[in-house]
Chains A and B, each alone.
Chain A
């Protein structure tokens, strides 16, 4: 099951105003999409899906995993290319969690590039409603890191 296919399903759900989608593919991939505030269940369902290694582009936006969030909140996107980290070091606490209120200038995450750990700071205050980019994964310019209300 590729990200493009999941994206299409989400688009269809929105088009037809569906709120629940549950499917198991022939090769045992179970996908459950729920339109609502239940983001934890959503993320678990998607992590069970096998992403094909042939995906041509590092996903430009992981927005489809939270269909309600498309309608609310705004995106905090990556201003650079590098590796995304939620924490200052492996055993430190995450800079921010879902549900945290953040203020302008607060460090949200680190993007590492060229041996430099760049702290990415909030440009506006609000509440983190989703953590989209994956810890330890590469991000490109424009990739959604968080959603903020």
Chain B
């Protein structure tokens, strides 16, 4: 096991990783920007190194400073969390050549699967169905021609994109050019790569993803699915495990496809394969693979009774998956709400600022993953997620009641949050019946606007 691990991230996930390290008896090194000096992850790590100014590209994206921080603290491994450098093959490569273990798959696999366009090619090659689409197209006119071929509506997707960024749905040919440029520019700004490809837009599908994990002892498995269809502008706001749409037969087909794929590409560590599933729950299409831990990993942890971050660290240290993971059986139902510092009644405008009162819910089956505390100031430089509220219960019905109870207990004063909006969704008959797709939030907001 490593003596010391550096956490190349911030916020709730950095704290999550530090907690896992502490329980494993591993020293944690936090890196932080000047804007994060008061963040809880900095306070609770065993050591902390300032790596730059607030903006991400001056701190959390500075590969050389992160590697240097490992050198001066003697960290043997880096956990990259999610976002930032977690799917950056070059970073993984530099870690390896610097003698530092990157906690995740190899740079080669990251390149292969992290690049959305080549990932689709790999899926097809291994018998995993994909939606009709294209390879990377640089020229906007050429892309438009291909879009006509595929048939509108199409989704313009940045190959380096993630978290809903660098994506633009296009319903009409007239709008294509502008949307193509917009998607490319956004991806360039967020990920440093503006290349785009096209995918047929499957209308009203469910977003169902499979958690996979593989060690270096020949174990490749999946740990079930998560339904992440509740999205606003392709950013997830509520996730649940298991999916209300899932049947044992569909789970078997999707699970087998997922395990075959990771085995074929020689995957190591944790990852998630995202699929679109049609409304009838009959056909599934490979969308992309995230070669890292996901934001919503807790719902899988709760239902499958495992600790994914610890398993990630163990795998990287050369240990096999824990027995309880290899024999994991699902139990109960878990729902997660991403609490964002945004005003849901003002077009979700970001709401940074000082939180002068913070009271998080508790009680049976309530888990809050957060770096925030009373008196904390939400900085303006990073994404707006300030906490994850996860509830677990014996049945989906009880989980919904529990989530409503927990959301209504949550007191966050000083900023606006998405909590009241998430309560609206939890109370809606469509959520209760499980009858929602990735277009649901968009349609719901449109209808409210008209009213």
Contact of B64 among A60, A113, A138, A142 (CB under 8 A): A113
How far is A127 from B73 in the complex, measured between Cα atoms in Å? 33
How far is A63 from B98 in the complex, measured between Cα atoms in Å? 33
Segment of A3-11, A16-24, A27-35, A79-87 in the binding face: A79-87
Contact call A82/B47, Cβ cutoff below 8 A: no
**B47, B64, B98 interface centre (most CB from chain A within 10 Å):** B64
Does A57 touch B at the CB level, under 8 Å? yes
Contact call B64/A140, Cβ cutoff below 8 A: no
Contact call B46/A81, Cβ cutoff below 8 A: no
Contact call A81/B47, Cβ cutoff below 8 A: no
Contact call B65/A141, Cβ cutoff below 8 A: yes
Q: Mark B316-329, 1 if CB is under 8 A from A, else 0.
A: 00000000000000
Interface of A is mostly: loop
Does A56 touch B at the CB level, under 8 Å? yes
Does B21 touch A at the CB level, under 8 Å? no
Q: Mark B37-55, 1 if CB is under 8 A from A, else 0.
A: 1000011011111111100
Contact call A60/B50, Cβ cutoff below 8 A: yes
Task: Find the B residue at minimum CB distance from A55.
Answer: B47
Does A26 touch B at the CB level, under 8 Å? no
Contact call B72/A141, Cβ cutoff below 8 A: no
Does B435 touch A at the CB level, under 8 Å? no
Contact call B52/A82, Cβ cutoff below 8 A: no
Contact call A58/B47, Cβ cutoff below 8 A: yes
How far is A56 from B45 in the complex, measured between Cα atoms in Å? 8
Contact residues in B for A56 (Cβ distance below 8 Å): 43, 45-48
Contact residues in B for A113 (Cβ distance below 8 Å): 64-65, 67-68, 71
**A56, A82, A83, A141 interface centre (most CB from chain B within 10 Å):** A141
Asked if A140 meets B42 with Cβ closer than 8 Å, knowing A80-B64, A81-B51, the reply is no
Contact residues in A for B53 (Cβ distance below 8 Å): 141
Asked if A114 meets B69 with Cβ closer than 8 Å, knowing A56-B46, A56-B48, A58-B49, the reply is no
Q: In which size bucket is the chain B interface?
A: 20 to 34
Could you tell me the distance in whole angstroms from the C-beta of A142 to the nearest C-beta in chain B? 5
How far is A81 from B65 in the complex, measured between Cα atoms in Å? 5
Contact residues in B for A58 (Cβ distance below 8 Å): 47-49, 72
Contact call A81/B48, Cβ cutoff below 8 A: no
Task: Find the A residue at minimum CB distance from B71.
Answer: A113
Does B175 touch A at the CB level, under 8 Å? no
Contact call A141/B64, Cβ cutoff below 8 A: no
Does B282 touch A at the CB level, under 8 Å? no
Contact call A57/B64, Cβ cutoff below 8 A: no
Could you tell me the distance in whole angstroms from the C-beta of A57 to the nearest C-beta in chain B? 5
Q: Mark A38-49, 1 if CB is under 8 A from B, else 0.
A: 000000000000
Does B34 touch A at the CB level, under 8 Å? yes
Contact residues in A for B71 (Cβ distance below 8 Å): 82-83, 113-114
Q: Mark A49-83, 1 if CB is under 8 A from B, else 0.
A: 00000001110100000000000000000001111
Number of A-B pairs whose CB atoms are under 8 Å?
A: 58
Asked if A114 meets B64 with Cβ closer than 8 Å, knowing A81-B69, A138-B72, the reply is yes
Contact call A83/B47, Cβ cutoff below 8 A: no
Contact residues in B for A80 (Cβ distance below 8 Å): 64-65, 68
How far is A143 from B98 in the complex, measured between Cα atoms in Å? 24
How far is A42 from B63 in the complex, measured between Cα atoms in Å? 37
Interface residues of A in 89-127 (CB under 8 A from B): 113-114
Contact residues in B for A81 (Cβ distance below 8 Å): 49-51, 64-66, 68-69, 72
Contact residues in B for A142 (Cβ distance below 8 Å): 34, 50
Task: Find the A residue at minimum CB distance from B45.
Answer: A56
Could you tell me the distance in whole angstroms from the C-beta of B50 to the nearest C-beta in chain A? 4
Could you tell me the distance in whole angstroms from the C-beta of B55 to the nearest C-beta in chain A? 13
Could you tell me the distance in whole angstroms from the C-beta of B54 to the nearest C-beta in chain A? 11
Contact call B72/A83, Cβ cutoff below 8 A: yes
Contact residues in A for B49 (Cβ distance below 8 Å): 57-58, 81, 140
How far is A58 from B51 in the complex, measured between Cα atoms in Å? 12
Could you tell me the distance in whole angstroms from the C-beta of A134 to the nearest C-beta in chain B? 13
Contact call B51/A57, Cβ cutoff below 8 A: no
Asked if A114 meets B47 with Cβ closer than 8 Å, knowing A81-B68, A140-B69, the reply is no
How far is A57 from B45 in the complex, measured between Cα atoms in Å? 9
Contact of B47 among A57, A60, A141, A143 (CB under 8 A): A57
How far is A113 from B67 in the complex, measured between Cα atoms in Å? 8
How far is A97 from B359 in the complex, measured between Cα atoms in Å? 53
Contact residues in A for B72 (Cβ distance below 8 Å): 58, 81-83, 138
Contact call B68/A82, Cβ cutoff below 8 A: yes
The list of the 8 closest CB pairs from A to B, nearest first, reads A138-B72, A113-B68, A81-B68, A140-B50, A81-B65, A140-B49, A57-B48, A82-B68
Q: Interface of B with A (CB < 8 Å)?
A: 34, 37, 42-43, 45-53, 59, 64-69, 71-73, 98
Q: Interface of A with B (CB < 8 Å)?
A: 56-58, 60, 80-83, 113-114, 138, 140-143
New A-B pairs, 4, CB < 8 Å, besides A56-B48, A81-B64: A57-B48, A60-B37, A113-B64, A141-B34
**What are 26 A-B pairs at a CB distance below 8 A?**
A56-B45, A56-B47, A57-B42, A57-B48, A58-B47, A58-B48, A80-B64, A80-B68, A81-B49, A81-B72, A83-B71, A83-B72, A113-B64, A113-B68, A114-B64, A114-B67, A138-B73, A140-B49, A140-B69, A141-B50, A141-B51, A141-B52, A141-B59, A142-B34, A142-B50, A143-B50
